[in-house]
Structure 1
Amino acid sequence: MRLLSVNLARPRSVGYTNAPGGLTGIDKRPADGPVAVTAPGSGGGSGLAGDVIGDPLFHGGDDQAVYAFAREDLDGWEEVLGRELPNGVFGENLTTAGADVSGALIGERWRIGPDTVLEVSCARTPCRTFAGRLGEMGVLPTERGAGWMKAFTRAAAPGAYLRVAEPGEIRAGDRIEVLHRPDHEVTVSLLFRALTTERSLLPRVLDAGDALAAAAREEALEYTAKYAS
């Protein structure tokens, strides 16, 4: 497993987001050279120095410090959309190769490069800004009647948000090593399904314990208290 690129935002104002001032950082491009991974609470919302979070109400923070997406999944979407999708186009900070990102377990820890350690915390959910970024606000050519967010949700391969466990420095070409896999079965994909199309799975995601992102944990607890017998 390795890191193909580290992608940083090129912030701009657009008409397809509800963020203050229309500012979005979803347009991310591969960085030249090393990028510093910052400690939790360092400010700015992103775990990468030089990155920008346009809508801090819904994005960024310690549980969403870094977003990873697999190049293999981007290749699959290239076939669906019928066009090239460069690294960073989904707004991901890390474009990986050889890693089953959506199959990673909540709480799984990755070492990237010599000293950076990241921990899988939650799943990315699609939004209007994501669809606008791709120019897919309407109908996909291969999915009659289905918009981008519906198609992305159906695939249930959303990529993973990670928190910073140990800051350091990363760059394209770095090896990704799994340091720890928790003793449960809550993958990023399962969590995503629980939060979107299969909410009856929400009690199961609590098996991830404290590694689960705070917002997802709160949602699972509320559902379980209301509906679980």
Structure 2
Amino acid sequence: MSTQTPSTETLTGELLAVSVGGVRDVHVGSRVIETGIWKSPVTWRVPVQGVNLAGDDQADRTVHGGPDKAVYAYASEDSAWWATQTGREFGPGAFGENLTTRGLDLSGARIGDRWRVGTTLLEVRQTRIPCFKLGLRMRDPLFVRAFAQAGRPGAYLGILEEGDLGAGDAIEVVFRPDHNVTSALMFQALLHDASLRPKLLHAPALPQFWRDWVAEHA
């Protein structure tokens, strides 16, 4: 099992935008779906408390939100890549992210990385597994499959220290655990390569839910 020895590597980035959104109803055929995936950027500093950003919400807390999915970050570099692939422009919040970043490889973020942003301290907890609501947001049901194949998942973070943050803040990775369990590796292990699943247990910060899941599915 890997230790929590900090890496000497220094990583910094920039918070380009902070986006929040409440729950809305979306009509899908004869059904009405509740979702909080529509996020819009705000211009003020946003309090980060409990398991959320102020003004943000999720429709189904059994699969979204909570302490291990309190904040979702997506890199502007990945949004730009999607623009080249699709011919569409993706502004801040387009992928349902709260934090749009620049200068950090979020696929390479390690489970347990800690970010100092504004007056908050956030910890990378897990990758993103896309669900059908991403297809609703993109108005393309096939986008979920494309996202699963692209291997650009972003990262979910928990809140270690409450505070506030805003666009233009620096992102300083103040702690890197001594393992190579990245968001991309977790994404690959859960969706494409079961042989990688035992490696997830090398990350001490991996949520208990996923530890139990790996024990059943490795």
Please tell me whether the aligned partners of residues 74 and 99 of structure 2 are also in contact (alpha carbons under 8 angstroms): yes
Q: CA RMSD in A?
A: 1.6
Match of 1:172 among 135, 142, 167: 167
Partner-residue secondary structure (3-state), 1:104 = coil
Please tell me whether the aligned partners of residues 63 and 214 of structure 1 are also in contact (alpha carbons under 8 angstroms): no
Match of 1:120 among 119, 124, 133: 124
Where in structure 2 are there 5+ consecutive unaligned residues? 1-12
Match of 2:200 among 205, 218, 221: 205
Give the structure-2-normalised TM-score.
0.90
Structure 2 Cα separation of the partners of residues 123 and 60 of structure 1? 13
The residue aligned with 1:12 is 24
Deviates more, 1:122-131 or 1:147-156: 147-156
The residue aligned with 1:217 is 211
Partner-residue secondary structure (3-state), 2:167 = coil
- Per the TM alignment, residue 16 of structure 1 is displaced from its structure 2 partner at its CA by 4.4
Confirm or deny that 1:191 pairs with 2:186.
Answer: yes
Give the structure-1-normalised TM-score.
0.86
Match of 2:39 among 8, 23, 28: 28
Partner-residue secondary structure (3-state), 2:179 = coil
- Per the TM alignment, residue 129 of structure 1 is displaced from its structure 2 partner at its CA by 0.6
Aligned residues with identical type, % of pairs: 46
Structure 2 Cα separation of the partners of residues 167 and 57 of structure 1? 23
Q: Match of 2:211, as an amino acid?
A: R
Structure 2 Cα separation of the partners of residues 178 and 78 of structure 1? 27
Partner-residue secondary structure (3-state), 2:111 = coil
The residue aligned with 1:152 is 147
Distance 1:172 1:15, change over 3 A: same
Structure 2 Cα separation of the partners of residues 15 and 57 of structure 1? 21
Structure 1 Cα separation of the partners of residues 14 and 131 of structure 2? 28
Please tell me whether the aligned partners of residues 10 and 29 of structure 1 are also in contact (alpha carbons under 8 angstroms): no
Partner-residue secondary structure (3-state), 1:52 = coil
Q: Say which structure is richer in strand.
A: 2
Q: How many residues align?
A: 205
Structure 1 Cα separation of the partners of residues 19 and 208 of structure 2? 25
The residue aligned with 1:66 is 71
Distance 1:223 1:63, change over 3 A: same
Please tell me whether the aligned partners of residues 38 and 168 of structure 1 are also in contact (alpha carbons under 8 angstroms): yes
Please tell me whether the aligned partners of residues 22 and 55 of structure 2 are also in contact (alpha carbons under 8 angstroms): no
The residue aligned with 2:106 is 101
Q: Match of 2:133, as an amino acid?
A: T
The residue aligned with 1:91 is 96
Where in structure 1 are there 5+ consecutive unaligned residues? 40-45, 138-146, 225-229
Please tell me whether the aligned partners of residues 16 and 128 of structure 1 are also in contact (alpha carbons under 8 angstroms): no
Which deviations, in whole Å up to 9, do the C-alpha atoms of 1:200-227 show, x marking residues without a partner? 1100110002x00222222112224xxx
Partner-residue secondary structure (3-state), 2:95 = coil
The residue aligned with 1:141 is none
Q: Say which structure is richer in helix.
A: 1
